[in-house]
Amino acid sequence: MPTRLPLGLVFVVGRVENLRLLTERKLEVLRVNGRSSRVQFMLVEKSHRLRCELSARAAGEVDLQEGDLVRAGGHLVFDPLQAEYFLLARDVDLVEKEEPELVAENGLNEPPLGRLALTPMLADIKKRSEAARQAPEDMPYWVQKIAPPDFQPIEVAREGGKTAVSTQPVEPELPRLDTNLVSYLSNAMDSDEIVELTPELLAKYLPLPPEAPTPALPQAEVAEAMSPATAKKSQPPQHRTEQLVGGLILLIVLLTLIALIGVIFFL
């Protein structure tokens, strides 16, 4: 078998696998056959595999790792020990360097996250931070309207305050009881006489409610409506009597409770 195939200089591209350094014992065997290469590896391209050895000069110029994509140039040499040809690489160029794999916490190997994958994420974070620092005056009008009062501009807050309508219920004012009426009712509770509460009796102590102003009428209508024969004294409204009776009932209940408490303490 010829020691070299008559193919001239051969260039092969593939990935490095089974990279190993020969021991001194194996190196001595190779030196007997005129070879002094210490670095051996398999060059793999799809289903094709080629055993390669680096020359002494090439081994000192390149640093190979498992998985590197390289282009090796050299001659095919016959190995009489294994009865096969191998590539004696004298010139090796790195086409693609294999990146070290990252080991995840769960023990699985995951590819490293490159800078290109992080660029869209960083751009989105920057865009959101700029939107958060935007002044309230620069926001759209509909955003200012639905924003909380703390983040609304002064003009929007004032405008909302003008158009706001109070929804709080209006509590009716209770009539104030006269002190003379309270004294009269207290004396009536202490006496054995039966006292009847009538509107005429209550009118002596309670002030009359203010009358609602009547709309102004033309002089001709006033002359026809008000005549000396038909003019009568205006009567108090019906609801005033109902308010007075309700207030007196409440007062009687309170005085009754006070009297019961006093009797309990005296006993």
Supply the CATH number for residue 90's domain: 2.40.50.140
- Tell me if 118 is assigned to some domain: no
For 104-142, what is each residue's pLDDT tens digit? 444 455 545 555 666 777 777 777 777 666 666 666 777
Phi/psi-derived region of residue 58, left when phi > 0, alpha when psi is between -120 and 50, beta in every other case: alpha
Mean pLDDT of 149-153: 63
- Output the CA–CA distances (angstroms, integers) from residue 22 to 19, 59, 82, 235, in the order listed: 10, 13, 15, 128
Predicted confidence (pLDDT) at residue 150 exceeds the cutoff of 60: yes
- Tell me if 128 is assigned to some domain: yes
Helix (H, G, I), strand (E, B) or coil at 134: coil
- Tell me if 81 is assigned to some domain: yes
For 196-227, what is each residue's pLDDT tens digit? 777 777 777 766 555 555 655 555 554 555 55
- Tell me if 250 is assigned to some domain: yes
Task: Supply the range of the domain harboring residue 139.
Answer: 124-160
Domain boundary among 79, 96, 113: 96
User: For residue 4, what is the DSSP state?
Assistant: B
Which of 55-64, 122-131, 139-148, 231-240 has the highest average model confidence (pLDDT)?
A: 55-64
- Tell me if 258 is assigned to some domain: yes
For 86-104, what is each residue's pLDDT tens digit? 888 888 888 887 665 544 4
Dist CA 71 CA 199 (whole Å): 120
- Tell me if 188 is assigned to some domain: yes
For 249-264, what is each residue's pLDDT tens digit? 888 888 888 888 877 8
Q: Tell me the helices (H) and strands (E) count for the chain, helix number first.
A: 9, 7
80 and 21 co-located in one domain? yes
Domain boundary among 96, 116, 147: 96
Dist CA 72 CA 87 (whole Å): 8
Dist CA 56 CA 35 (whole Å): 10
- Tell me if 198 is assigned to some domain: yes
- Tell me if 190 is assigned to some domain: yes
91 and 15 co-located in one domain? yes
155 and 79 co-located in one domain? no
Pick the residue with more confidence: 46 or 2? 46
**Phi, psi values for residue 148, rounded to 5°:** -60, 160
**Contact by Cβ (8 Å): 40, 72:** no
Domain boundary among 49, 79, 96: 96
State the total domains in the chain: 3
